[in-house]
Amino acid sequence: MIEIPGNVFPRRLDILLPMAKKAQGMFIEDENGRQYMDASGGAVVVNAGHGRKSIAKAIYDQILSHDYIHPTMFTTRPVEMLATRLAQKAPDDINRFYFFSGGSEANEAAIKLARQIHVENGNETKYRLIGRWKSYHGLTLGSLGAMGRTSFKTYFTPLLKENLHIPAPYCYRCAFGLTYPSCKLQCAMALDEMIENAGPETISAFIAETVPGATIAACFPPKEYLKAIAQICDHHNVLLILDEVMCGLGRTGEFFACNHFDVVPDIVTLGKGLAGGVMALSAFGVKETHFNVIKENSGVFMHGGTFSHHSVAAAAGLALIDILDQEKLVQRVKIKGERLGELLKKHLLPLAQVGDVRGKGFMWGIEIVKDKKTRMPFKRSLKIVEGIWESLFEKGYITYKSSGLAGVNGDALVIAPPFIIEDEQIQRLVMAIKSTMVEFFN
Ligand code: PMP
C-alpha cells in the first residue's frame, strides 16, 4: 500500500477516514476489504447506485466528442437536451434551466435571479429574502445567509446578510405548540405576517425546501401547506424559490417534489443526484415568463461562471435521467418507499428513544429523543446521533445524520438509499438500525 503523506485538508479532522477502493451498486469497499451498504447514497446523492456503466460511457464519449466549451461562446447538445428533458418533467411553465456544479451555487443564483427579475420589472425596492428556521440551502455566503440552521452560521454571522426567517412546517415540534389540522397552518400564515410586517414592497423571495431533508429529517409538510405558501407569495408579488436539491429527482416518489402539492414555484433548484453523484451538477429551473423579463429587458442574467453549462456533466445528467426512465426508478421509489417506511415504523417506533419516524419515498427520518412523552431531546454535547451513526458505520451501514432539530439540541438519522435497493437489503438495513440503537442505549 502507498504511504499517504497527508497533505489533504480533509472534511473530518477528528479521525482518519478509511480509504475507499471500489463502489458498485449499493456497496462501497475500502482498502481493507470492508464492505459498507451505502444506505444514504453518500449525502443523498447516488440515486441510481454506484458504478453505472452507461453514465461512465456517456462521460467518456462526451469528452472524446468535445470536452470543455465556454458557455458564452457555444451551446452544446448535452446541455440543450438535458434542459429539454428536465422541462418535460417539470411542472407547467418551468421551462428554462441553467446549470452549475453544486446545490449551494444553484440556490445562490436563484436568490440573485429573483432580485434581478424584480428590478427588471421595475420593482427596485424588492431585495429582502425570507427563509425558514431549521433549513439548509448551502455553504456560500448567500445560501448560508438564507438558511435557518444557526449552528452552521455562528462563525460567519458578521459576514452574512441578515435575512428573515419563519418557522418550518415541523409538526412534531410545532413552533406554535399546535396540532395539525386544527392549527390552521399557522406556520404558513406566519409568512403573510412576516411579509406584511417587513413591507411587501421590500421582499424579493421566499426560499424553502419543498420537503425538508437533512435539517428536520425528512419532515413531509401537511398537504395544503405549500399551496397556502404559494398563494401568499403570489398575493405579495414575492417569488417562490423551492429548493429540491435533496428532495427532487424522484427522491420522494415524484420527479419534482412540488408535484406532490400541485404547486408551481417561480424558481426550483436541483443538485446532488442530478448526475447520479458521478459529476458535480446542479441547476435552477425558472418560469418562462420570468426568463422573458430578463431577455426582453437587460438581455443578460448578471451571473456567470467558468463551469456553468458543462457539457460533460450534462452528458452524465442525461444518462442518469435515461436510467431513471428506463428502469422506472421513480415509480420504484414510490412503491418500495412505502415498504421502507412501514418497516422503519414497525421496528423503530416501539423503541423508548425513537420519538418519530416520518418521510416519503426514499427519504425517511428517525427522530431520537430522551423522553418520548415530553419529546425532550438529548443534549447536543452528548452527540447521540454521531454515536449511533459511527456504530452503524462500523457494522458496514452508511446512513445520514441530522442534528439541531430542537434549538441547538436534537438528533435524527436520515435514511435515503439509492433507488435500486432490494427488499432484502431494506429488511437488513432496518434490523441493523434497530439492533444498533438497542445496543447503543443499553
Ligand atoms: N440545499 C439542500 C436542501 C441541501 O440538502 C444541500 C446539500 N446538503 C444544498 C442545498 C447544498 O448543496 P451542495 O452541497 O451541493 O452545495
Compute the distance between CA of residue 274 and CA of residue 247 in angstroms, rounded to an integer. 11
- Tell me the pLDDT tens digit for each residue of 17-48: 999 999 999 999 999 999 999 999 999 999 99
Q: Which part of the chain has CATH 3.40.640.10?
A: 55-326
117: left (phi over 0), alpha (psi -120 to 50) or beta: alpha
Is the confidence at residue 3, as pLDDT, over 90?
no
280 CB near ligand 1 (under 6 Å)? no
Point out the ligand 1 atom lying closest to the alpha carbon of residue 271.
15
Residue among 45, 46, 100, 104 whose CB has most ligand 1 atoms within 8 A, to mutate = 104
C-alpha cell of residue 233: 407569495
Compute the distance between CA of residue 440 and CA of residue 434 in angstroms, rounded to an integer. 10
With vertex at residue 28, the alpha carbon angle to CA 4 and CA 348, rounded to the nearest 5 degrees, is 125
Q: Whose CA is nearest to atom 10 of ligand 1?
A: 137
107 CB near ligand 1 (under 6 Å)? yes
103 CB near ligand 1 (under 6 Å)? yes
Burial class for 152, CB neighbours closer than 10 Å (0-12, 13-18, 19+): middle
Residue among 268, 272, 307 whose CB has most ligand 1 atoms within 8 A, to mutate = 272
104 CB near ligand 1 (under 6 Å)? yes
- Tell me the pLDDT tens digit for each residue of 145-170: 999 998 899 999 999 988 999 999 99
260 CB near ligand 1 (under 6 Å)? no
Q: Which DSSP string do the residues of 61-119 spell out, in sequence order?
A: HHHHH-----TTT---HHHHHHHHHHHHHS-TTEEEEEEESSHHHHHHHHHHHHHHHHH
Taking each helix axis from N to C end, the angle separating 329-348 and 423-441, rounded to the nearest 10 degrees, works out to 30
208 CB near ligand 1 (under 6 Å)? no
CATH superfamily of 20-51+330-441: Aspartate Aminotransferase, domain 1 (3.90.1150.10)
Q: Whose CA is nearest to atom 12 of ligand 1?
A: 103
Mean pLDDT of the chain: 97
Distance 220 CA to ligand 1 centre (A): 17
Q: What is the CATH number of domain 55-326?
A: 3.40.640.10
Q: Whose CA is nearest to atom 13 of ligand 1?
A: 103
Distance 136 CA to ligand 1 centre (A): 7
- Tell me the pLDDT tens digit for each residue of 298-339: 999 999 999 999 999 999 999 999 999 999 999 999 999 999
365 CB near ligand 1 (under 6 Å)? no
Distance 245 CA to ligand 1 centre (A): 6
Residue among 40, 132, 137 whose CB has most ligand 1 atoms within 8 A, to mutate = 137
Span 202-219, mean pLDDT? 96
Q: Find the Cα–Cα–Cα–Cα dihedral 22, 26, 32, 34, rounded to 10°.
A: -170
100 CB near ligand 1 (under 6 Å)? no
Instruction: Print burial letters for 60-81: b (CB count within 10 Å at least 16), e (below 16).
Output: eebeeeeeeeebeeeebebbee
277 CB near ligand 1 (under 6 Å)? no
Point out the ligand 1 atom lying closest to the alpha carbon of residue 272.
15
Compute the distance between CA of residue 217 and CA of residue 199 in angstroms, rounded to an integer. 32
- Tell me the pLDDT tens digit for each residue of 43-68: 999 999 999 999 999 999 999 999 99
**Half-sphere exposure of residue 427, counting CA atoms within 13 Å on the CB side?**
3
- Tell me the pLDDT tens digit for each residue of 351-373: 999 999 999 999 999 999 999 99
Residue 406 CB contacts under 8 Å (≥ 6 apart), including other chains: 173, 375, 377
SS3 assignment, position 128: strand
Point out the ligand 1 atom lying closest to the alpha carbon of residue 107.
10
Point out the ligand 1 atom lying closest to the alpha carbon of residue 212.
3
140 CB near ligand 1 (under 6 Å)? no
Distance 64 CA to ligand 1 centre (A): 31
Q: Which part of the chain has CATH 3.90.1150.10?
A: 20-51+330-441
Report the pLDDT value the prediction gives residue 4, as an integer from 0 to 100. Answer: 78
Report the pLDDT value the prediction gives residue 1, as an integer from 0 to 100. Answer: 58
